[in-house]
């Protein structure tokens, strides 16, 4: 069976994977939850170690957002286990999320190996929503570690956008123009364009914003 590379808006492909926490079937394993699948070039490498440490330190925050994590590289499961043990022993952090031991099949399906950057997986990040659809895909080269606070910000932004049917501005919640406010969807006709100038704060009818509604009690 031939696969096209997955795109934003596609259903995440159904994959059976071997992990440090047993065999799992994606996306079924995380049904009803968001999940982030992220690949790293190799175990026992410095940048990847800093990334796993950063992900684990934020794991409780991701879980509060109904979001699970699952890592991946083309390493055998015993390598993942030994590396996780090293991180716990040397850095004092236990890796609680599963890590996929890929034979190369998953990487091929998801487009994680970019020949121009070598034979290892690049630092890819897939955001998958509660219904199993891909909401975002990020790629980083081997030499650049990821910003994990940005990944948390993206999950918060996706969930806010979904719950309130709004768009999220640049650098939210610290946007230079509207601060922590959110963008009202575009008007669909002339009447609604005129009305929104009365209902919202606007730079113009096509650029209106409002406070985000907090779900905190």
Neighbours of 3 (CB within 10 A): 10
How many Cβ atoms are within 10 Å of 146's Cβ, its own excluded? Answer: 19
161: which residues sit within 8 A by CB, 6+ positions away? Answer: 167, 168, 182
Burial class of 114 by CB neighbour count within 10 A (0 to 12, 13 to 18, 19+): middle
Q: Is the backbone of residue 83 left (phi > 0), alpha (psi -120 to 50) or beta?
A: alpha
Catalytic residue among 15, 17, 18, 48: 48
* Residue 48 appears among annotated catalytic residues: yes
Distance CA 23, CA 1 (A): 22
Residues marked active site are found at 48
């Amino acid at each position: 069976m031939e696969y096209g590379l997955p795109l934003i808006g596609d259903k995440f492909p159904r994959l059976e994977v071997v992990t440090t926490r047993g065999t799992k079937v994606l996306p079924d394993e995380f049904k009803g939850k968001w999940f982030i699948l992220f690949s790293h070039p190799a175990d026992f490498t410095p940048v990847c170690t800093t990334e796993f440490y950063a992900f684990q330190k934020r794991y409780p925050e991701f879980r509060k957002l109904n979001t699970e994590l699952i890592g991946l590289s083309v390493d055998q499961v015993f390598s993942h286990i030994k590396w996780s043990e090293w991180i716990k022993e040397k850095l004092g952090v236990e890796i609680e999320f599963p890590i996929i031991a890929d034979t190369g099949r998953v990487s091929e399906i998801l487009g994680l190996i970019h020949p121009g950057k070598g034979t290892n997986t690049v630092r890819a990040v897939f955001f998958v929503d509660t219904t199993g659809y891909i909401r975002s895909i990020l790629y980083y080269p081997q030499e650049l570690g990821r910003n994990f606070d940005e990944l948390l910000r993206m999950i918060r932004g996706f969930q806010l956008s979904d719950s309130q049917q709004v768009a999220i501005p640049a650098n939210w919640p610290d946007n230079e123009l509207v601060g922590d406010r959110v963008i009202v969807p575009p008007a669909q006709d002339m009447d609604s364009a005129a009305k929104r100038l009365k209902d919202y704060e606007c730079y113009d009818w096509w650029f209106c914003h409002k406070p985000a509604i907090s779900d905190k009690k």
